[in-house]
Amino acid sequence: MSLKRIDLLICCGSGCLSAGAMKIKERFHEVLQEKGLTNEINIIETGCMGPCDYGPVMVIYPEGIFYKKVTPADVDEIVSEHFIKGRPVSRLMLQDEEENTFSTQKEVPFYQKQVKVALANCGYIDPESIDEYIATGGYEALGTVLTTMSPQDTINVIKESGLRGRGGGGFPTHIKWQMVHDNPGAEKYIICNGDEGDPGAFMDRSLLEGDPHRILEGMMIGAYAIGSNAGFLYIRAEYPLAIKRIKLAISKAKEAGLMGKNIFGTDFCFDAEVRTGAGAFVCGEETALIHSIEGGRGNPTPKPPYPAVQGLWDMPSIVNNVETFGNVPTILLKGAKWFASMGTATSKGTKVFALTGDIRNTGLVEVPMGITLRELIFDVGGGMSGGNKFKAVQLGGPSGGCLTADHLDVHVDYETLKERGAMMGSGGVIVMSDKNCMVNIAKYFMDFCVDESCGKCSPCRIGLKQMLGILERITSGEGKEGDIEELQRLGEAIGKLSLCGLGQTAPNPVLSTIRYFRDEYETHIRDKSCGNKVCLPLMHFNIDKDRCIGCSLCARKCPVTCITGSREEKYTIHQLECVKCGNCQDVCPVKAISRIPGMHPEVTAKRETDAKSTNHHED
């Protein structure tokens, strides 16, 4: 192999792949071939680099130049200017609002407050190459543990590091491990939970895609600590790339003798298999996940018995999240003290978050525990997109809650978030601007949970449906006094009575939005008005006759022909027929059409007459 002078790292995480990373890679191959440069330049596909919003992204070493939003048409210029003449293409570099250009990856502000532990290799190595993982220190922790430490020593290191489950609950990892270690059973299982289901969360997927060997190594260290020889990786079928890469990693590890019999010449043998999940949200719950692996229906069962006592095929089992395993090798390499030096008193280390919503830098980030929400959203996330104002942030997906601008200085750790009505969850962060309606958001999450409820226990199956019904009434203008209290009563009951985590936490988005945005619920119920003009029945469109130029475009685009008028008289919307599609607003060349909160008086009057006539018939 000849000496290379450039490493071209193309991000091939799912975000960049959808944005066309593969086409760019092919174009690079073509152009390099044409110019006879194939021997000088390495093209490497990496996992997610993080700033998905700017995808497809790439980094070019040795300089570490960072390019964003690259298209196949840019490839020629990159090759002829950057690769041949050594002049990086500045128009593809990241710029901030003040037009400062950031040429290298290190300078990009998005990366500056991040501390990468689990994501250390994501976007830096080729995830399909075991050698590149080994080059970064991979499998050294496993080798050291197997040859120099006892299982109990290993658990002690994890205990000292303070590592807690990254899947949401935050249960101390060492306690689970200790329970299974102490169990005398001969057959034990270790399971990696990659059934990531929260809307807007993609931490586990990115880790599995970007650094699969790290997860395997962490899992094998766990297996050694608890005395297990067999593991399962449960990954949802919607993640085909993650499944492909983890399967490839397993076969490469076996080829290299890093998985299989007598690893590192010791008595430790280990084998892992991938199980694909059909995408049910409830299968992220450990007992449901175990039943699904066994081939049964993905329903949860009451705990105790905990999986650590009676898990997969009734044997003692550990279920750990992908990111939890991702931290394990580094903790053993760098030491428990190093890991515990990051974070807060009770939450140690770092956490990976997926930033989404109305935020500028949508993407994957890893920050130390204890960072404030302000730093996470405004420094790392780059602040709100489109010049909008921050309104709320939803943490923890459908199980979590919303926090407001008053909480921006709250430190992100398990306990603090819980006290405020949100939760760490698996790491989905949905940022919302003042254009969002919180009642609608609560309805969205409730709708998700109703769909995903497995139906085994009635509080969750029936109760959540009742809550959704009330929210649907409120957002369609049929809310009545007492609805808020009823939602709270139901929410609290369902939280207490449900069998598993899904039902226990499903009311959280509703309860937390009532807690912090009660006024929005009240305007929806009392004034039949959605202040942010999101809930369609509670807003209407209006044409400003002073601005209307009578061009008739709106009338022609209206699908229900409810707009009439003429050049002289201007145009009017007939509110009773309007379906609120918004076409008229989109096409108006002079922006004479606006959304107005509240029902139109004509609609209100019609509803009242309708209601009276219905009552009359009933009499």
Partner 1 sequence: MKTLADLKKIREKAQEEMKLRGGSVRVKIVVGMGTSGIAMGAREVMKTFLEEISNRNLTDVLVTQTGEKGLSSMEPVVDVIEDGKPKVTYGNMTPDKVKKVVVEHIVNGRIVSDYVVATGN
CB of 115 to partner 1, least distance (A): 17
Nearest to partner 1 of 131, 602 (CB atom): 131
CB of 50 to partner 1, least distance (A): 17
The pairing of strands 539-543 and 593-597 is: antiparallel
Residue 112's Cα: distance from chain center in Å?
Answer: 21
Cα(120)–Cα(323) distance, integer angstroms: 12
| Omega within 30 of 0 (cis) for the link into 72 | no
CB of 327 to partner 1, least distance (A): 21
Nearest to partner 1 of 132, 375 (CB atom): 132
Within 140-169, the residues that bind partner 1 by CB under 8 A are 140, 143-144, 147
Within 47-86, the residues that bind partner 1 by CB under 8 A are 61-64, 83-86
34 binds partner 1 (CB under 8 A): no
The pairing of strands 363-368 and 350-357 is: antiparallel
**Residue from 124, 270, 414, 516 in contact with partner 1 (CB under 8 A):** 124
CB of 86 to partner 1, least distance (A): 4
Which segment (20-28, 108-116, 136-144, 348-356) binds partner 1 by CB under 8 A?
136-144
Site string for partner 1, 205-244 (x = CB under 8 A): ----------------------------------------
- Is the CB of residue 502 less than 8 Å from the CB of residue 452? yes
39 binds partner 1 (CB under 8 A): yes
Instruction: Give the per-residue SS3 of 84-117.
Output: HCCCCCHHHCEECCCCCEECEHHHCHHHHCCCCC
Which helix (H) or strand (E) is 331 found in, with range? helix 322-334
Local structure of residue 124 (DSSP, 8 states): T
* Site residue total, partner 1 (CB under 8 A): 37
CB of 139 to partner 1, least distance (A): 6
Site string for partner 1, 239-278 (x = CB under 8 A): -----------------xxx-----xx-------------
Closest to 277 measured CA to CA, from 168, 202, 195, 197: 195
CB of 124 to partner 1, least distance (A): 7
Q: Is the dihedral of CA 432, 280, 495, 353 positive or negative?
A: negative
DSSP string, 259-278: SBSSGGGSS--BEEEEEEE-
Which segment (128-136, 269-277, 329-337, 374-382) binds partner 1 by CB under 8 A?
128-136
Structure tokens that stand for 166 in this block:
């990254």
CB of 53 to partner 1, least distance (A): 24
91 binds partner 1 (CB under 8 A): no
Structure tokens that stand for 225 in this block:
């600590």
**Residue from 26, 135, 455, 458 in contact with partner 1 (CB under 8 A):** 135
- Cα angle for residues 177, 178, 182 (degrees, 5° grid): 120
Half-sphere exposure of 168 (CA within 13 A, CB side): 27
Structure tokens that stand for 455 in this block:
């139906």
Residues that bind partner 1 (CB under 8 A): 1-7, 9, 39-40, 42, 61-64, 83-87, 124-125, 131-132, 134-135, 137, 139-140, 143-144, 147, 256-258, 264-265
